[in-house]
Each structure stands twice: as structure tokens, then as C-alpha cells.
Amino acid sequence: RPVPVIAIDGPTASGKGSIATAVAEALGFVCLDSGVLYRLTAWEALQQGVPLDDSDALTRLAADLPVTFAAGGIVLNGHVFDAAQLRTEAVGQAASTIAAIPSVREALFALQRSFRRAPGLVADGRDMGTVVFPDAPLKVFLTASAHSRAERRYKQLISQGIPAILADVFAELELRDARDTQRDVAALKPAPDAQLLDSTDLSLEQTVEAVLALWRQSV
Ligand code: C5P
């Protein structure tokens, strides 16, 4: 039997990352935050001064990303990489810009699929259930209102000591939502067989429990 995958897709700041991590931990599964791969590619492009519309150069970057994932940590160009550097708004916007290029997405397929290892994988992103792992036995499409997502992101930034303005966070979130849902390739949308889960009124723990309940029903 193929190694099972739980695909968790949804818009920015829907809590996918925290939920995927907690679900993977509860089940002893491997976890893939696919957004990190787009962010790493964007990071490298910004570092090397590759223009964000140079598809060929960006595709080469994505295909040869000098990255390994060791014990939960990221090693880039031979050095342990501080993943917090990928969480900035600038890297996020750059990631969503390059993620609209089909050949960049294709260049990252094999790397994403290499995370599928026994006993199972929890993968979060935008197209885990629709494109990368279409045979996943459980697909969850996680949503929350734009206001509650903006509020969560805002609180996260403030708690990290990063100055932020709620209205700006909201505007940036809407910009990224629009870009991710309107692009021609792998647009953010639920797979036909995805379970919709709205976490607007749920705590992190309740949302994790809801995903685990769906998993128990599916096996
Ligand atoms: O999830 P995260 O915010 O880290 O992703 C950053 C950007 O990478 C997203 O805005 C999206 O454009 C892109 N992305 C994607 N497909 C994925 C994961 C992320 O296009 N599977």
C-alpha cells in the first residue's frame, strides 16, 4: 500500500503550518511545509539578485536548490539556516510571485514528493491535495475568515517583537490571497474530494482534533 498522505491546503495565515506540525506529531508522521520551498527559492533569488520575472533563472534555482532537511532543521548552501528569515512579508510576497511560474512549480515536485516516507506524511500548502499528492487518502481544505487570519498573523508578529499595523497586515493578506487564487497554475482551491474545515471559531487544539477525527474516519 502506498505511504499515506494527509494534505492540508488553505490560504495564507489559516494556521496550516501549526496544525500540520501538531497532526504529524500526534501520528508520528513526517511533515512537509511546502511553502518553505517556495520561500527558500525566493530567498535565494533575492540574495543572488535574480529578477523575479526571469523564469529560466528562477527555474534553475528551484531545480538545484542547495538545501537539505536534517532533523527538522534546514541546511542551505552547507550552513544551518534560520527559518525565521523566511517568514518576512518581503520573502512571502516574493514567494507568491515566483510560485505563479509553472516551471518553478514543476522544478519543486520531486523534492516535495521525496518527503513521502513511512509511516506517513502530513503536507501543507496550496496544492498538496490538487496537484502534488492527488492520491492522498485525506485532504483537508482549511479556511478562516480574512479578518481572523489577519488578526492571528498580527498577534504573531507582535509577539515576536516585529512592529505591525493590523490594517497593513490585512491588506497584504488580501493581496496574497488574490494572487494565490487567481493564478493560472495550481490556483488555491479545494480538491473535489477535500473536506472543508473552517477554523474561524476553533482554537488550535480544536482544529488539530478535528483533523485527527477526519483521519480516524478515513482509515
Ligand atoms: O504557505 P506560505 O505562506 O509559506 O507560502 C508562501 C507562498 O508560496 C504562498 O503565498 C504561495 O504563493 C506559495 N505556495 C504555493 N504552493 C504551495 C505552498 C506555497 O504556491 N504548495
Question: For the residues of 57-99, what is the DSSP string, one character each?
Answer: HHHHHHHT--EEEETTEEEETTEEE-GGGGGSHHHHHHHHHHT
- Cα(34)–Cα(56) distance, integer angstroms: 21
pLDDT given for residue 87 in this prediction: 84
pLDDT at residue 180 is higher than 90: no
| In the block, residue with C-alpha cell 480574512 | 146
Pocket (CB within 6 angstroms of ligand 1): 12, 34-35, 38-39, 92, 95-96, 99, 125-127, 176, 180
Distance (angstroms) between ligand 1 centre and the Cα of 125 equals 6
* Model confidence pLDDT, tens digit, residues 1-43: 899 999 999 998 899 999 999 999 999 999 999 999 999 999 9
pLDDT given for residue 30 in this prediction: 94
Residues facing residue 196 across a β-bridge: 141
The model's confidence at residue 113, banded by pLDDT at 50, 70 and 90, is very high
pLDDT given for residue 70 in this prediction: 79
Which residue's CA is the closest to the ligand 1 atom numbered 7? 96
User: What is the ipTM metric for this complex?
Assistant: 0.97
| Angle, alpha carbons 123-105-186 (nearest 5°) | 75
- What is the reported pTM? 0.92
Residue from 58, 91, 96, 133 to probe ligand 1 pocket by mutation (most atoms less than 8 Å from CB): 96
CATH number of 5-145+193-212: 3.40.50.300
* Model confidence pLDDT, tens digit, residues 59-80: 999 999 989 887 768 888 888 8
Q: What integer best gives the mean pLDDT of the chain?
A: 93
